[in-house]
Structure 1
Amino acid sequence: MNNQKIALITGANRGIGYAIAHGLLKADFQVIIGSRSLDKGKAAAEQLNSPLVSVVEIDIAEDDSINKAFNELNDKIDRLDVLVNNAGIYPDNGFNILTINRDLLTKTLNANTFGAIKTTQIFLPLLEKADQARIINYSSGYGQLAGLSAGVPSYCLSKLTLNGATIMLADALASKNITVNAVDPGWVSSDMGGENAPRTTEQGADTAVWLATIDAVKDSGKLWRDRSVVSL
């Protein structure tokens, strides 16, 4: 088995996902940029300018797209060492818990929570072939019980549920030597976080890169921020 590790990062054409890709490249990973738009993924790969980068089109809100991405990669790689479920949406502007509609709640949960679960399920055959695969789910302080906000209803609920799914996946995959953890990147300056956010995308990516590259991950089913476990 090739010693060079392989990572797939969803939503890696920009923001935190792109910073994770850059960080893992510096750690000598083979990096697969997952992008809903193939053209945007290719543009990101060109910016990274490395033979270790490839691109796969994947929309984590659509099962057919996830399956298509798996089939494409299954023909090219013999395993997957790291899966970073980073892609997500933040559609709550103008809504609160008293005004948000069912359709928007469903849309956000489908992308931010169910997308991560389904991507993990579909890519499990490749993850099982790695020596110690790692799954990293991108959560938020808004997903902590103490961080819930009535003004960010669908996003908060999607990340709260993702934290729960992280615990359940960690338990289900423990016997396969696959660790599953969630990361709170903090408030990051990006298209999602806005220009007033105090943290850089590199700071938001740091914990995920660290979890992907350290020799062994002892904890599973935890929420991390700045390389430390925080309360769910």
Structure 2
Amino acid sequence: MTTTLITGANKGLGHETARRLVAAGHTVYVGARDVERGAAAASALGARFVRLDVTDDASVAAAAAAVEADGGLDVLVNNAGIEVRSPGGEIIGAAELTADVMREVFETNVFGLVRVTHAFLPLLERSSSPVVVNVSSSLASLDQAGKGYPGVAYPTSKTAVNMLTVQFAKAFPKMRINAVEPGYTATDLNGRAGTQTVEQGAEIIVRMAQSGPGSPTGGYFDAAGPLPW
């Protein structure tokens, strides 16, 4: 039985990924900050709930201890992420960007990913088939930088996620560690403005979460294949 933890899984892409992996036979932990919403989502999905705030060391340590006590972990999906907008709801461009905005976005999207990955590495190292999926974005691609999206903090945070993916994959060659781009999916992150459904967006996350021995590692993919860094 494959055991999988998904951060930020009480809604959106994380929730749909959890639904699909439960259907595929995984034992899935729904990681969420909000106990009521997270527990309700896990119950509806036939999954397990673990309280996990990726910005809080004690919360992450407690979640790792709980998962370890239940038997360990095979797959980690680093899905939790945020975008910060102005009080009026506008995307924050370079002219309005502050260090506080960058810090807030990085605390979840980058430091949170590192915090969770570091805490669960000992469990993953004990797995016979360890996998890490980092949810990135096409906005992270330096090859595509400057084309369209005016925001700065979110794309920069996802570029950092891509670099972390490469470095973790290099350090842990027995694991399959990849970054994925779900596509422009209608979620709370973008005010439901995305052009894809969560079912479509979760496709590459689910596929990579189920990757077996011999599959790629240290890569950056969307549903169609590899993406330019």
Greater than 6 Å deviation, 4+ residue runs: none
Q: For structure 2, list consecutive stretches of 5 or more residues without a partner in the other structure.
A: none
Of residues 113-122 and 146-155 in structure 1, the stretch that sits farther from structure 2 once superposed is: 146-155
Q: CA deviation at 1:204?
A: 1.1
1:228 aligns with 2:225: yes
Distance in 2 of aligned mates of 1:182 and 1:47: 28
Q: Which residue is equivalent to 1:31?
A: 28
- Report the Cα distance in structure 1 between the residues aligned to 2:82 and 2:192, rounded to whole angstroms: 17
Aligned residues: CA RMSD: 1.4
TM score, norm. by length of structure 2: 0.93
Aligned length in residues: 223
SS for the counterpart of 1:132 is coil
Q: Which residue of 202, 206, 218 maps to 1:205?
A: 202
Amino acid at match of 1:82: V
- Aligned amino acid, residue 99 of structure 1: E
Q: Structure 1 residues 63 and 173 mapped into 2: Cα distance closer, same or farther (>3 Å)?
A: same
**1:43 corresponding residue in structure 2:** 40
Give the match's secondary structure for 1:192: helix
TM-score of the pair, normalised by structure 1: 0.92
Q: Which amino acid in structure 2 is aligned with residue 104 of structure 1?
A: V
Is the Cα–Cα contact under 8 Å of residues 81 and 130 in structure 1 kept in the other structure?
yes
Distance in 2, matches of 1:82 and 1:188, equals: 23
What is the CA-CA distance between 1:217 and the residue it aligns to?
4.6
Match of 1:104 in 2: 101
Following superposition, the deviation at residue 43 of structure 1 comes to 1.3
1:78-114 Cα offsets, whole Å, 9 max, x none, are x211000000101134321121111110111111011
Distance (Å, rounded) in 1 between the aligned partners of 2:227 and 2:186: 22
- Match of 1:195, as an amino acid? R
Separation in 2, partners of 1:117, 1:86: 12
* Aligned partner of 2:85 among 89, 92, 104: 92
Q: Check 1:92–1:148 CA distance in 2 against 1; reply closer, same or farther (3 A cut).
A: farther
Q: How does 1:175-190 map to 2 (within 5 A)?
A: 177-190=174-187
Query: Any stretches of 5+ residues in structure 1 without a counterpart?
Result: none
Give CA-to-partner distance per residue, 1:127-159, whole Å, 9 cap, x none: 011112000000001111133357211101100
For 1:89, the aligned partner's letter is I
